[in-house]
């Protein structure tokens, strides 16, 4: 199976690109999110690849980030969501974090606003992936990229005790742990700052 391609972007047409690797051109289907981040033809690119083997063909799906690839891998575990449908969802106007947040918040209405996602599919995404999306988001850095496990663990150990208190307070007020941790990750501990000030700052960034 092909898991990664590193080569020259030769051509792009619609959702498909051709990547030249050592004289062999690989046709790869990409989401709108990945396509938007690609350079001009002739430039070097790296794509993470999902290889789908069917009876009549082998199809390659490419992703510009580990975050998008990880979400794709979750999406295709849902009933009636194949690789093409998953790429369509990833092309729906949200970045991977935004899609994860919709699923984690059980926002079926928001999901149905993505082209190709009906009510039944939205409900299946929420039921089957809500907890998995929460866990996935907790493994991502603020930029949306996947954090190395060692880096994430080190960050958790270094977190200021006041931030732990703010996170616990937010959970006590009804927000999900993943939402609380995301808000806390954006706080800065300065000299003389109080727990109350940090909590007020966090509350301003919490989803309504």
Instruction: Give the 3-state secondary structure of residue 34.
Output: helix
- pTM of the complete model beyond 0.75: no
Give the pLDDT confidence score for residue 74 in this predicted structure. 93
C-alpha count within 13 angstroms, C-beta hemisphere, residue 115: 9
**Is 50 exceeded by the pLDDT of residue 149?**
no
**Is 70 exceeded by the pLDDT of residue 138?**
yes
Which residues, at least 6 apart from 82, have a Cβ–Cβ distance to it below 8 Å? Answer: 76
**Is 60 exceeded by the pLDDT of residue 145?**
no
**Is 50 exceeded by the pLDDT of residue 173?**
yes
**Is 70 exceeded by the pLDDT of residue 190?**
yes
**Rounded distance, CA 25 to CA 77, Å?**
29
* Six token digits for residue 118: 């009906």
**CATH classification code of 4-63:** 2.40.50.140
**Rounded distance, CA 197 to CA 174, Å?**
19
CA 141 to chain CA mean position, Å: 10
148 falls in which pLDDT band (50, 70, 90)? very low
- CB distance 86 to 97 below 8 Å: no
Name the residue among 14, 155, 181, 147 with its Cα closest to residue 70: 147
**Is 80 exceeded by the pLDDT of residue 170?**
no
**Is 70 exceeded by the pLDDT of residue 65?**
yes
CATH architecture entry for 66-138? Orthogonal Bundle (1.10)
**Rounded distance, CA 132 to CA 74, Å?**
8
**Is 70 exceeded by the pLDDT of residue 46?**
yes
Which residues, at least 6 apart from 36, have a Cβ–Cβ distance to it below 8 Å? Answer: none
- The predicted-structure confidence for 105-118, as pLDDT tens digits, reads as follows 899 999 999 988 99
141 falls in which pLDDT band (50, 70, 90)? low
Which residues, at least 6 apart from 129, have a Cβ–Cβ distance to it below 8 Å? Answer: 74, 75, 77, 78, 103
pLDDT mean over 6-14:
93
**CATH classification code of 159-205:** 1.10.8
Give the pLDDT confidence score for residue 42 in this predicted structure. 93
Percent over 70 (pLDDT), the chain? 89
**Is 90 exceeded by the pLDDT of residue 87?**
yes
Task: Report the DSSP pairing between strands 24-30 and 4-13.
Answer: unpaired
**Rounded distance, CA 91 to CA 160, Å?**
38
158 falls in which pLDDT band (50, 70, 90)? low
Per domain, the residue ranges of the chain are: 4-63, 66-138, 159-205
**Is 80 exceeded by the pLDDT of residue 66?**
yes
């Amino acid at each position: 199976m092909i898991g990664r391609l590193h080569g020259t972007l030769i051509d792009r047409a619609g959702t498909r690109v051709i990547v030249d690797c050592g004289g062999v051109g690989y046709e790869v289907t990409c989401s709108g999110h990945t396509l938007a981040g690609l350079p001009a033809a002739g430039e070097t690119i790296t794509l993470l690849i999902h290889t789908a083997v069917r009876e009549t063909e082998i199809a390659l799906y490419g992703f510009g980030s580990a975050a998008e690839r990880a979400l794709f891998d979750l999406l295709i575990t849902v009933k009636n969501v194949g690789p093409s449908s998953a790429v369509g969802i990833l092309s729906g106007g949200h970045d991977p974090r935004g899609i994860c947040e919709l699923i984690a918040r059980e926002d079926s209405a928001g999901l149905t606003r993505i082209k190709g996602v009906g009510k039944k599919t939205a409900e299946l995404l929420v039921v089957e992936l809500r907890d998995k999306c929460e866990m996935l988001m907790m493994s991502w850095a603020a930029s949306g990229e996947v954090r190395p496990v060692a880096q994430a663990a080190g960050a958790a150990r270094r977190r200021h005790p006041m931030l732990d208190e703010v996170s616990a307070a937010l959970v006590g007020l009804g927000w999900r742990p993943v939402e609380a941790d995301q808000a806390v990750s954006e706080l800065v501990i300065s000299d003389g700052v109080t727990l109350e000030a940090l909590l007020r700052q966090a509350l301003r960034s919490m989803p309504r």
